[in-house]
Structure 1
Amino acid sequence: MSLLLRAFLLPPVTERIQQRYCGYRNNGASALAAWLMTVQVILCWMFLRLESPAWQQVRENRQQWFPHISASRPRPLDGLRYLVQGIWLVVVMPGQHLVDMTTLSIKLAYWRQRYYQWLKKIPARLEKTGLERETVKRLGRLNRGVRFVLFVCLSLLAAIMALFCISQPFSLSAQFVFVVLLWGIAMVIRRIPGRVPALMLIVLSLTISCRYLWWRYTSTLNWDDPVSLTCGLLLLAAETYSWMVLVLGYFQTIWPLNRKPVAMPVDLQTWPTIDIMIPTYNEDLSVVKPTLYAALGIDWPHDKLTIYLLDDGNRPEFAAFAQELGIEYLARPTHENAKAGNINYALGRAKGEFVAIFDCDHVPTRSFLQMSLGWFFKDAKLGILQTPHHFFSPDPFERNLGRFRRTPNEGSLFYGLVQDGNDLWNATFFCGSCAVMRRSALDEIGVIAVDTVTEDAHTSLRLHRAGYSSAYIRIPQAAGLATESLSAHIQQRIRWARGMVQIFRLDNPLLGKGLKLAQRLCYANAMLHFLSGIPRLIFLTAPLAFLLLHAYIIYAPAVAILLYVLPHMIHASLTTSRVQGKYRHSFWSEIYEAVLAWYIARPTTMALLNPHNGKFNVTAKGGLVKETYVDWQITRPYMVLMLLNLAGLIVGIWRLGYGNANEIMTVLISLAWVLYNMVILGGAIAVAFEARQLRQAHRVEIAMSAGVMVRDEHLYPCVLHDYSDSGVGVKLHQNEGIAVGDNVTLILRRGPQEFTFPCEVSRVYDDRLGMKLCAMTHIQHIEFIQCTFARADTWALWQDGFPEDRPINSLREILALGFRGYQQMAEFAPAPIRQVLIKLLSFTAWFLSFFPRGVAEIPAGRLHDERVAQS
């Protein structure tokens, strides 16, 4: 190669190219890869003018725009990877990534930005015209009867038009035009901010989904083949269930209320008496202490506040600690009905006008009661007010997958959106903790329900039946510990699922008196949600019916399947992303449901048959995971499903080469389904690889001004960047000699007051200190909790800290997660199987390396500076 270069190039250029080639080789690139990349670099300098300003920017941002390609260690086909990624950046990615990359990208960025700006101005223009306000005024002038008749007529007209769109048979070409038209409308609407565009997306999604289900029932069952008919009916039943949950979910979240707190009366004498109840059974005292300290510091007149520690474990150390704090300790002689019985025993002795209940690991903020009780003054029939369950420790999904504070957790959708949507329909559920209830309302319904293992939801259902209203404030006013292990997490979900199905059998919300239609639908959707186990298992095995049994589960041409199935899936995905994007990212529900499917299928089925079966299981909190391990018992069902889908994949590939040529397209569709299922199952397997958790006292990140004072009373200003109930981490502005082992004083501020806490320095890293809290009095403990965990604004900022959902990025994350699951499985598998898995994964990784990658956005300020500099 050196002779060729010396023949055609000048000596300095030849030397630089030789250095580049040798650099590639020194970094581990093969001779072929180094030679190919060197030649490609020469050609790029010859034909692309890499010295131009535009290409200089590309070179400066190479790591950002081509994150999956190494600049120092090329691979033989990196030229193809650069080409694919470059086309992706120019054509597909949003314009802000493409500035000055090429002339075409500048034009695309300009027109796309103009399009987005036009969409954003539409709501403001409509508001300026006053059309909406004028329409409302005109409708308001009509009497009530005329408005009702007008509403009925418009509803009937809309229903007739919807029925026509749903049931009208189309040719395949007409169906193609129809779905393309609706898809185009959806792509325009999804960019328009506001609730009305979201409602329009829901209408489009329902139209497509209902049309799909009509087609499935009328045109896709093979009545001549018993096997195909059986498999097809099973899939159709699962799809009907999913359609029902989709429709009810849209209804439930169509207009979140977003209720605001109501101010308390100025006169403190009118404030009611409150009983705070903290039930516990087998938790460590270290878990319960922060909750008790926080309860003692709640802003409420002390003569109107009574705190009860309800110990169903009858432990002497708990009784002694309650006596030290000066709070009430109750331990009942019998232990029937678990948590519900524990609370009911306390209610027989408490006399407060209202009852606030906290799980023993939920630390309330100082403002909890003042934020909650105002609505009870405003609404005399308000029976319960619920606030979110917020967790400052990662759950097993977040910890094992490394997604803590990066992706909304499993409960964010319920507490961030569903409960807020329920509030519109006066159907807020009691969730067992972080809630306030009117004592007279509890007495009227016979206190906490004990007929099912989900006593909380059953109690709220009885309150609604008795005519009491409910409320939900979506501002976290308490925070607790999430489950530590996947097995504990699954056990908790099994109890929830069994209990909700028990309520469905014993006190069906669709039947009986006292509920409005909207309340019945909200409760029914919550209960149907936990019946997802069997439908999810059907979806994970459905394509195998065709690949392994040659059963036509959808008896229709492959083109028709694409024209009906894909629009249904795409519109549902777009709409749920728009409605749920802040609280549940796309495709993550597939992972959650796949993990739980096998384990909730049996108990929910048994509860349908025998609703009195099952018992309450306490969820363990505050445990440790000392070593990384694989929960093979939990993964067993996923492994079986994975092997079945792998068999389907192998048979499908064989049928591509040796099967019926007329079935090629159907085989390809089935293979795509199998590959997607294997990705989801890989994600489920990845969750079962338990990551280490050595902290029993979990750290909470924060940025708060503080101070550290040493023995000579020299004060160091600092920033408190994390804390737990046993220690803190601070960042000093300047460290002038603080060392490990020094005894110092931490100074925290709450409003105008300052509080001091004794600490010992346990770790020093430049200007960062890790400090362990020394022995403190109960008063100091209460003050520390009030300055940290119980601050009114501590948790309010967490719920808005997640990025908006981007379906393509979420799909990419799920694909990477599935691949990671199989990688981890290969590491722990027996040696013969490990070698096969490693080879398969290596080939898959090589194949996926050609797919384009998303890139991070360039900050707006930096983008502007670059434009100015280049101009």
Structure 2
Amino acid sequence: MKTPYFKAFESRRPRFNSPMTPVQRRLWHGLAGVSAASGALYLHWRWTTSLNPDALLFSALVAGAETLFYLGALLFTFDIWDEGDTPQQPPPKMREAAGLDGAAGPIAVDVFITTYDEPPEVVAPSVQEAKAVQVPEGVGMRIWLLDDGNRAQMADLAARENIGYFARDTNEGFKAGNLRNGLLQTSGDFVVICDADTRLFPRFLHNTLGYFCDPQVAWVQTPHWFYDLPEGQPWAAWLARHLGLSPKGTLARRGGGALTWITGRSHVGSDPFMSDPLMFFDVIQRRRNRNGAAFCCGAGSIHRREAVFDAALKRKACAVGRLEVARALAGLTVQDQLRAVPLEPYKFHVSEDLYTSILLHEDSTAGWRSVYHPQVESRMLSPMSLEAWAGQRLKYAGGSFDIAVRDNPLWRRGLSWQQKLHYGATFWSYISLLWAPILLLAPMVSLITGVTPVKAYTVDFFAHFLPAVLAGELAMIWGCKGHGLGAGRVLSVAVLPVHMRALYCVLRGQRPGFAPTPKLPMSGAGRRHVVPHLLVIAAMSAAVAIGIWRTWSGDPGFSPPLLVINLFWLMCNMILVARLPLAALFQGAVLSPDADDIDAEVSFTPRSMLAEKEVFHACRSSI
């Protein structure tokens, strides 16, 4: 067996995620207000003064896309308005202290390590580090390997490590079904969920169990940290190596500075697939916690068994009640009804973590709430090929679209208005694919046709446009505590073809299913996913050539201001589009089966009819 590539990163340690200081908070709030006001003034000017009467449809489309992005920015501003960390407490030493009923004795914790097709070299370190977790006083812990692949090598691994092992013959419910299989055969008061590559830190229980001293806490989510992300090398060093320059020479340093400005990245080759989740966890999730809206992300979370079963039993009872009419018509017995509606502690869905979070948050009668713990308590592996990256993104998008279209939380009565806005921000970020292409392709249209989305590029245009852009940029820099914004912007463009495919499949009535993301690098896998980006780059390049030629030839529909402004706009867009094709050139260490033997795609399968739809919508209005 080869040495796994991630062994080279074992010494890495996560950063401490500091809270916002009072000065940061005040400055962020002030800049957010300026940004909102300047954006509103710009849009008022766009709609009342600047529309191009000679190309009204094109001009209105661009102004409409800008308006929708502004609304998204307002929603995002609310989403990350303020931090509200839950005070940390020491772990409870008695069952009563954790709100647990029943006989006296130690608090029981089950650690579930879920696996499907991951090799032993990925799973074994997760098992070994789970065994190294320090168990607090008054707590008992058991580790279980939940093997959805039903493989002899996983059973052997569990036997060697002296941990529990469960397998099943079917894969009903994906990961949610695997978790249910484990839950129905264990009895721990709390359940820690780990993916095959989730390696818990020794203090995991000490740092998370204390939140459950509040008996209403249903789950605690910790950040994901990908410890294997390539760090790359500075642009100056990269130029020196490829052009034979001195790394400390003026040409390399200035060239490196220019490339840093152009690309928004200080290093080349760092995080090639834009997988670093720090921005999401330390900014978005952390600030949603103030309104009890940080949702579960699966791995690295710990759950109160009572909460997940309480919600599941309510949903099952509700769905069975709705099948009474079907029983009367078809002669179904009560036992038939119970079998027709499965018990789902975690909702059977490709996005089981997000879906289950919504169902627990909406249960106003039980009052369950979530806690986001802001510090990293485990480490994981990142997607290390385009195939893995695309499969993961397709899963996220397909699951989110499916929930938004068929069971949107905005219509759920049990959620607070704050929680609805937070969940709405998640779905808004996905449906932006409907208007993002307009702004992406608008300068290309202008360079080809000479048609502009504004009357003219005058001083009045810049007087309204630049303050809105600069205020928004400064607000985001301070609001996101200095976390890099470039990767998020690039990602929003890179994922457009994947998100379009996901939305198309969901609107056709297909339910997303998924195969787990490969945990080891696959050299060259998934390069077909950059074909749309290459086609767009080719079209943009042609537009540049046409615009320059028509301006140089004196075409009356073209002018130097039109050319310069749209060239700048288009080049910025080209940089965003080109990032994913550059990632296709990434060559990581390879330790995996041949890429052609692995399918990391999300699949979409037709929905079944009666039982599936009944279960899906059964409790929308009843819990």
Alpha-carbon distance in structure 1 between the residues aligned to 2:156 and 2:526 = 39
Q: 1:203 to 1:618 in 2, by over 3 A?
A: same
Q: 1:631 to 1:320 in 2, by over 3 A?
A: closer
| Residue deviations 1:754-791 (CA, integer Å, cap 9, x gap) | xxxxxxxxxxxxxxxxxxxxxxxxxxxxxxxxxxxxxx
1:650 aligns with 545
1:623 aligns with 521
Deviation, 1:518, is 0.8
Q: 1:318 to 1:398 in 2, by over 3 A?
A: farther
Kept after mapping to 1: 8 A contact 2:298/2:353: yes
Deviation, 1:258, is 3.5
* Structure 1 residues 216-295: aligned runs within 5 Å: 216-222=46-52, 228-265=55-92, 271-295=106-130
Deviation, 1:558, is 3.3
Please, which of 549, 558, 563 is the counterpart of residue 667 of structure 1? Answer: 563
Residue aligned with 2:279, SS: helix
Please, which of 203, 208, 214 is the counterpart of residue 372 of structure 1? Answer: 208
* Structure 1 residues 398-797: aligned runs within 5 Å: 402=268, 404=270, 410-446=276-312, 447-466=344-363, 467-583=367-483, 585-607=484-506, 609-610=507-508, 612-625=510-523, 632-657=527-552, 658-660=554-556, 663-694=559-590
1:317 aligns with 153
Alpha-carbon distance in structure 2 between the residues aligned to 1:238 and 1:271 = 57
Which residue identity does 1:683 align to in structure 2?
R
Deviation, 1:207, is 0.5
Greater Cα shift, 643-652 or 288-297: 643-652
Q: 1:238 to 1:644 in 2, by over 3 A?
A: same
| Residue deviations 1:606-639 (CA, integer Å, cap 9, x gap) | 42x24543212210102353xxx59642322121
Alpha-carbon distance in structure 2 between the residues aligned to 1:263 and 1:303 = 12
Kept after mapping to 2: 8 A contact 1:531/1:601: no
Alpha-carbon distance in structure 2 between the residues aligned to 1:605 and 1:221 = 32
Alpha-carbon distance in structure 2 between the residues aligned to 1:636 and 1:670 = 24
2:223 aligns with 388
Q: 1:376 to 1:580 in 2, by over 3 A?
A: same
Q: 1:451 to 1:321 in 2, by over 3 A?
A: closer
2:132 aligns with 297
Deviation, 1:213, is 2.2
2:255 aligns with none
Alpha-carbon distance in structure 2 between the residues aligned to 1:660 and 1:299 = 75
Alpha-carbon distance in structure 1 between the residues aligned to 2:233 and 2:206 = 32
2:32 aligns with 202
More relative contact order, 1 or 2 (CA 8 Å, 6+ apart):
2
| Residue deviations 1:496-544 (CA, integer Å, cap 9, x gap) | 0111111112221211211111110111111221223343332221112
Kept after mapping to 2: 8 A contact 1:263/1:370: yes
Kept after mapping to 2: 8 A contact 1:533/1:599: no
Kept after mapping to 2: 8 A contact 1:452/1:502: no
Deviation, 1:601, is 1.9
Residue aligned with 1:440, SS: helix
Residue aligned with 1:510, SS: helix
Which residue identity does 1:593 align to in structure 2?
S
Which residue identity does 2:412 align to in structure 1?
G
Q: 1:270 to 1:253 in 2, by over 3 A?
A: farther
Deviation, 1:275, is 1.3
Kept after mapping to 2: 8 A contact 1:386/1:430: yes
Q: 1:678 to 1:527 in 2, by over 3 A?
A: same
Deviation, 1:267, is 5.7
Kept after mapping to 1: 8 A contact 2:383/2:518: yes
Residue aligned with 1:436, SS: strand
Q: TM-score, normalization: structure 2?
A: 0.74
Q: 1:459 to 1:611 in 2, by over 3 A?
A: farther
Alpha-carbon distance in structure 2 between the residues aligned to 1:552 and 1:524 = 33
Q: 1:258 to 1:395 in 2, by over 3 A?
A: farther
Deviation, 1:396, is 11
Deviation, 1:403, is 5.0
Unaligned regions of 5+ residues in structure 1, if any?
Answer: 1-190, 697-871
Alpha-carbon distance in structure 2 between the residues aligned to 1:641 and 1:361 = 36
Give the number of aligned pairs. Answer: 497
Deviation, 1:341, is 0.9
Alpha-carbon distance in structure 1 between the residues aligned to 2:274 and 2:106 = 37
Q: 1:504 to 1:360 in 2, by over 3 A?
A: same
Which residue identity does 2:550 align to in structure 1?
R
Residue aligned with 2:384, SS: coil
Alpha-carbon distance in structure 2 between the residues aligned to 1:683 and 1:246 = 23
Kept after mapping to 2: 8 A contact 1:630/1:690: no
Which residue identity does 2:565 align to in structure 1?
I
Alpha-carbon distance in structure 2 between the residues aligned to 1:250 and 1:398 = 34
| Residue deviations 1:672-701 (CA, integer Å, cap 9, x gap) | 1112222223333322212232478xxxxx
Residue aligned with 2:111, SS: strand
Greater Cα shift, 398-407 or 359-368: 398-407
| Residue deviations 1:46-75 (CA, integer Å, cap 9, x gap) | xxxxxxxxxxxxxxxxxxxxxxxxxxxxxx
Which residue identity does 1:364 align to in structure 2?
L
Residue aligned with 1:373, SS: helix
Kept after mapping to 2: 8 A contact 1:396/1:484: no
| Residue deviations 1:363-422 (CA, integer Å, cap 9, x gap) | 001111121110111x21111110001111117999997454899953111111111101
Which residue identity does 2:369 align to in structure 1?
S
Q: What's the Cα RMSD here?
A: 2.9
* Structure 1 residues 812-851: aligned runs within 5 Å: none
Kept after mapping to 1: 8 A contact 2:35/2:468: yes
Q: 1:407 to 1:618 in 2, by over 3 A?
A: closer
Deviation, 1:246, is 1.1
Q: 1:371 to 1:630 in 2, by over 3 A?
A: closer
Deviation, 1:566, is 2.1
* Structure 1 residues 180-195: aligned runs within 5 Å: 193-195=23-25
Alpha-carbon distance in structure 1 between the residues aligned to 2:515 and 2:451 = 42
Unaligned regions of 5+ residues in structure 2, if any?
Answer: 1-20, 96-103, 235-264, 313-343, 593-623
Greater Cα shift, 303-312 or 412-421: 303-312
Kept after mapping to 2: 8 A contact 1:221/1:554: yes
Kept after mapping to 2: 8 A contact 1:449/1:455: yes
Structure (1 or 2) with the larger CA radius of gyration:
1
2:182 aligns with 346
Alpha-carbon distance in structure 1 between the residues aligned to 2:289 and 2:106 = 25
| Residue deviations 1:642-673 (CA, integer Å, cap 9, x gap) | 11111221222223331338843233211211
Deviation, 1:560, is 3.0
Alpha-carbon distance in structure 1 between the residues aligned to 2:477 and 2:275 = 15
